[in-house]
Amino acid sequence: MILQNITTGLFLTITSLAFAQNSKQMSELIQNEFQLADKQYKKLMKSIPQDKMPQSYNASIDKVTTKDITWWCSGFYPGSLWMIYEQTGDPEIRKEAEKRLQLIEPNKTFTRDHDLGFMMFTSFGNAYRITKNPIYKDIILTSAESLSTRFRPGMQAILSWDKMADFKGPVIIDNMMNLEMLNWAAQNGGNKKLEEIAIAHANTTMKNHFRSDYSSYHVIDYNVNTGEVFGKKTFQGYSDSSAWARGQGWALYGYTMMYRFTKNKAYLDQARHIAKFILNNPNLPEDKIPFWDFNDPKIPEVPRDASAAAIIASALLELGQYVKADERKNYVDNARQMIVSLSGDHYQAKAGTNGGFLLMHSTGGLPLHSEIDVPLIYADYYFLEALKRYKDWYLQ
């Protein structure tokens, strides 16, 4: 018994020392990452026209790719700036963030697609969280109302895109991310109907978007009046039946977030099932950075998607907050490995390179021959969010 106690005590001491060392390493890594982000985004801001937002970088011509403010990614740049400012206190970064918020503010009444959460909550949501400026809150509430106009009662979901040649009533898994703004608005002075819409959409998606292994289809095509499912398809994945990597990340993040707001255990269980599909997938590489689609038959000779890893890591860190210790350790360990991989030489740009973006090797839309093996603004955003979450939740 004495020997057993000594052995147990020694094991606990070694484990504690390893954890302490790991915590110190992660603390230093996170600090270094935000310092690098500060430098990189000061480079990036010099390359962006006053009326555009950064999207990617074309190394062959050394030019930052930009988009108009109604592009779905327009909120990620100011959102990233706010997170960098929060960690560094750099006034130059804050000034740029405030300037870019002014540019995208007109999006608060944009209703042509479902992406208002991406546009306005990643940006103004972070700005309000950090500053508590009531003007930012009003803009979020207006944006949530605008998004709610795309809810179609007949199908009990938010219409992602208007009718297209191949789709009559498309709803994409990405749309789960935009529910965060609706939930937040409903709980922070907005109309309670916004939460009801978010719940209805999440329930409809849970019913129709998932296969028996909890992988997600990309697009479900509905009859907007009756909710009848016309087809289960893809727009950005390898095939209709494949598991597009970033889509699995959107699903994991979305249901974890829905549990945060509602405490509905069905959403927590859904997130845990999705996490199991991702983390136990035989095609998930050792460094935990997914190939662009889990079912591409040419794996491993296909592009990775750093953006999917960043989204998944951030989601796993939140999911770890809602489960017991053993399960939490699994999620946090995997998220940490993703963060470490993304911060390594293969995926992270050297200071002064990559147009000012942090991460390399993301894949936007391979079947569309678009944004293949390039930096992407939302990869940086969710990587920074994962760093912040790890610091706030697992280094205390």
Catalytic positions are 115, 174
Write a three-state SS string for the chain.
CHHHHHHHHHHHHHHHHHHHHHHHHHHHHHHHHHHHHHHHHHHHHCCCCCCCEEEEEECCCCEEEEECCCCCCCCHHHHHHHHHHHHHCCHHHHHHHHHHHHHHHHHHHCCCCCCHHHHHHHHHHHHHHHHCCHHHHHHHHHHHHHHHCCEECCCCEECCCCCCCCCCCEEEHHHHHHHHHHHHHHHCCCCCHHHHHHHHHHHHHHHHCECCCCCECCEEEECCCCCCEEEEECCCCCCCCCCEHHHHHHHHHHHHHHHHHHCCHHHHHHHHHHHHHHHCCCCCCCCCCCECECCCCCCCCCCECHHHHHHHHHHHHHHHHHCCHHHHHHHHHHHHHHHHHHCCCCCECCCCCHHHCCECCEEEEHHHCEEEEECCHHHHHHHHHHHHHHHHHHCC
- Residue 229 backbone dihedrals phi, psi, to 5 degrees: -85, 120
CB 320 within 8 A of CB 335: yes
Tell me the C-alpha distance between 334 and 200, whole Å.
Answer: 31
Nearest CA to 379 out of 54, 110, 102 is that of 54
